Amino acid sequence: MAVLLLAEWNKDGLAVETARAYSAAQKLHMPIDVLLIGNAPAALRRAARRLPALRRLLLAETQAAPKAQQEALEHGLAEPVAALLASMAAAYTVFMAAATSYGKNIMPRLAGLLQVAQISDIIAVPAPDTFKRPIYAGNVIETVRALADKKVVTVRASAFPLPAMAETEQGAEEKLVLPQDLPVPTRFIDEKGDKKEGEPGLGTAKIIVSGGRGFGTAENFKNLLEPLAAKLPAAIGASRAAVDAGFAPNDRQIGQTGRVVSPDLYIAIGLSGAVQHLAGMMDSRVIVAINKDAEAPIFQVADYGLVGDLFEIIPALIKKLG
């Protein structure tokens, strides 16, 4: 009985969502192995080994793999990564990943390969075979008891704390021998994002400023939100209406069908607070709403509300912030 946690990482380190998912894995009271795919630098491996009570850090290094397989694994394409995890099925009871785009892409395919139902987006682990998860945009919390021998679980990272890292490196580091026959039916072409140098990511930002349809145009969204975000400093989020209107790219969307975030401060500007949006930001510690409509539902969840025109309030805020 052991847990395998699929890690996400980049040159800056282990993803904060992976570290939080590790806290969820600890609730299962089983040995935990963490899998790093790709050629992770030594500093990152040392940092990952400080996850408390880690049993093993497994390294799926790709430099010796055929080029197509190497690229597919390093870019997290679902088919080879899920097949790699499935090839390790005999050794694990629970396969876990954070419910990020990465985890949500891979784990359902693994569940399919193992012929079990995935347990998605868990927010609590009351017992090692029992999980709580939100449904209906967070309006109902479902408790699921999973009886299958193998469990495939994705974790809502914002629901779990960061683990207290150990003083010293834990467990052992072990290199995996990659299976020869990992499928690579798709190719990685390109990845584009609009994140500015130095801007905090939505997953790690302590402050998020989020804009909605009220901005009217993509130019207004950019010209008002970017300087405000730079002053705070904050990451920029968006409602689905803002994303659909082309004000912001998809990966900025907060909500039921977007990202779930829990910053210390969430500033919602020119967005109404539809239930699907609230599903992605309700765990924020302090919520501030700026909206010209005093009846907007966002004010019902806001700790502080400012009724007024965003085109006057944002420039005034930027000025105040110096």
Ligand X SMILES: Cc1cc2nc3c(=O)[nH]c(=O)nc-3n(C[C@H](O)[C@H](O)[C@H](O)COP(=O)(O)OP(=O)(O)OC[C@H]3O[C@@H](n4cnc5c(N)ncnc54)[C@H](O)[C@@H]3O)c2cc1C
Residues contributing to the site for ligand X (CB under 6 A) = 212-214, 239-242, 253-258, 270-272, 274, 276-277, 280, 291-293, 296, 309-311
Are 291 and 274 spatial neighbours (Cβ–Cβ below 8 Å)? no
Collapsing DSSP states into helix, strand and coil, what is residue 307? strand
Q: 48 vs 242, which CB is nearer to ligand X?
A: 242
- To ligand X, the closest distance from the beta carbon of 101 in angstroms equals 13
Collapsing DSSP states into helix, strand and coil, what is residue 214? helix
57 HSE (CA, 13 A, CB side) = 24
Are 191 and 86 spatial neighbours (Cβ–Cβ below 8 Å)? no
Q: 118 vs 256, which CB is nearer to ligand X?
A: 256
Residue 10: CB partners within 8 Å, gap ≥ 6?
none
**Helix, strand and coil in the chain, % to nearest 5:** 30, 25, 45
- To ligand X, the closest distance from the beta carbon of 228 in angstroms equals 14
- To ligand X, the closest distance from the beta carbon of 121 in angstroms equals 13
Q: 70 vs 272, which CB is nearer to ligand X?
A: 272
- To ligand X, the closest distance from the beta carbon of 317 in angstroms equals 13
Q: 69 vs 210, which CB is nearer to ligand X?
A: 210
Q: What span, in angstroms and rounded, lies between the C-alpha atoms of 287 and 210?
A: 11
Q: 100 vs 272, which CB is nearer to ligand X?
A: 272
Q: Can you point out the beta strands (E) in 179-274?
A: 207-211, 235-238, 265-269
- Let me know the angle formed at the C-alpha of 296 by 291 and 301, rounded to the nearest 5 degrees: 95
Among 10, 61, 67, CA closest to 35: 61
* Exposed/middle/buried for residue 226 (C-beta within 10 Å: 0-12, 13-18, 19+): middle
Q: 27 vs 292, which CB is nearer to ligand X?
A: 292
- To ligand X, the closest distance from the beta carbon of 300 in angstroms equals 12
Q: 65 vs 271, which CB is nearer to ligand X?
A: 271
- To ligand X, the closest distance from the beta carbon of 277 in angstroms equals 3
- To ligand X, the closest distance from the beta carbon of 302 in angstroms equals 12
Q: 142 vs 244, which CB is nearer to ligand X?
A: 244
Collapsing DSSP states into helix, strand and coil, what is residue 173? strand
Give the number of other CB atoms < 10 A from CB of residue 135: 12
Joined tokens for residue 252 = 């900025």
- To ligand X, the closest distance from the beta carbon of 305 in angstroms equals 11
Are 21 and 157 spatial neighbours (Cβ–Cβ below 8 Å)? yes
